[in-house]
C-alpha cells in the first residue's frame, strides 16, 4: 500500500477545515493570498470556480508533491453578488435584501493532484429566505455575528432558522466545501478515503 500523499487545504477558514476533518484525520492548512477581485462581467459560478483554482494553485506553488484543495463560495441574489459583509450594517443590509427571496450559492472546489493537474467542481445551492423583520435580523446578527460569511448567515448555527427551504445535492456545500465532490476529487488524486 502506497503512502498517503500530503493534503493541503488552501484556506485558513475554520468552517472549511471542520468539514475536511470529516474526510481526513491529517492535513495542512495554508493561506493562499489570492487576489479575489471580481472580473468585469464574470458570472458568479465562474467567479467561484476561478477563485477556487487560483487559491489551490497559489498554495500548490509552496507545497510541491502535495495534493492541494482550494475552495470558494459566491452568493448570488438575482445577479447581485453578496460578499462577506464585514460589518454589522453590511450584514443587516444583505439579510434585508434576501428576505423572502432566493439566493443561489455557488460553491467551488478545486483539487490539484500530484502531477499539478487541476480538477474543479461547482455545487449550486438555492436557499429561500423567509420574510425577515428588522427585529429578526437585528437579533440574528447580534447573536451570531456572521460578518465573515457570504450572505451574512451561518447555516451550521442559528442561520438555519432564517430559511424556508434549501435545495441542493450536497448539504455541506452551503457551509463552504462540498464534501461529496471533494471526496470524489481526492480519490481521483490518489488520496485514500473510505
133-178, pLDDT tens digit by residue? 999 999 999 999 999 888 898 888 899 999 999 999 999 999 999 9
What the chain holds in terms of domains, given with CATH numbers, is 7-188 (3.90.950.10)
Tell me what pLDDT residue 29 has: 98
With a cut of 70, say whether residue 2 has pLDDT above it.
Answer: no
Residue 112 in contact with residue 65, Cβ under 8 Å?
Answer: no
pTM of the predicted model, to two decimals?
Answer: 0.91
Q: 180 is written with which cell numbers?
A: 461529496
In 3D, which of 151, 140, 142, 57 has the Cα closest to residue 107?
151
With a cut of 90, say whether residue 1 has pLDDT above it.
Answer: no
For the annotated catalytic residues, the residue numbers are 72
Residue 39 in contact with residue 47, Cβ under 8 Å?
Answer: yes
Amino acid at each position: 500500500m502506497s503512502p498517503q500523499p500530503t493534503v493541503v487545504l488552501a484556506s485558513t477558514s475554520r468552517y472549511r477545515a471542520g468539514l475536511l476533518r470529516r474526510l481526513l484525520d491529517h492535513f495542512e492548512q495554508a493561506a493562499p493570498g489570492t487576489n479575489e477581485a471580481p472580473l468585469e462581467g464574470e458570472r458568479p459560478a465562474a467567479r467561484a470556480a476561478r477563485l477556487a483554482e487560483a487559491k489551490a494553485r497559489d498554495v500548490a506553488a509552496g507545497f510541491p508533491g502535495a495534493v492541494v484543495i482550494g475552495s470558494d463560495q459566491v452568493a448570488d441574489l438575482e445577479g447581485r453578488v453578496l460578499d462577506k459583509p464585514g460589518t454589522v450594517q453590511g450584514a443587516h443590509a444583505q439579510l434585508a435584501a434576501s428576505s423572502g427571496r432566493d439566493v443561489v450559492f455557488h460553491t467551488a472546489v478545486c483539487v490539484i493532484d500530484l502531477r499539478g493537474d487541476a480538477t474543479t467542481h461547482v455545487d449550486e445551492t438555492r436557499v429561500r429566505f423567509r420574510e425577515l423583520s428588522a427585529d429578526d435580523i437585528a437579533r440574528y446578527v447580534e447573536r451570531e455575528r456572521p460578518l465573515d460569511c457570504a450572505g451574512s448567515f451561518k447555516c451550521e448555527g442559528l442561520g438555519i432558522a432564517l430559511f424556508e427551504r434549501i435545495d441542493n445535492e450536497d448539504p455541506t456545500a452551503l457551509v463552504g466545501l462540498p464534501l461529496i465532490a471533494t471526496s470524489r476529487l481526492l480519490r481521483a488524486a490518489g488520496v485514500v478515503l473510505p
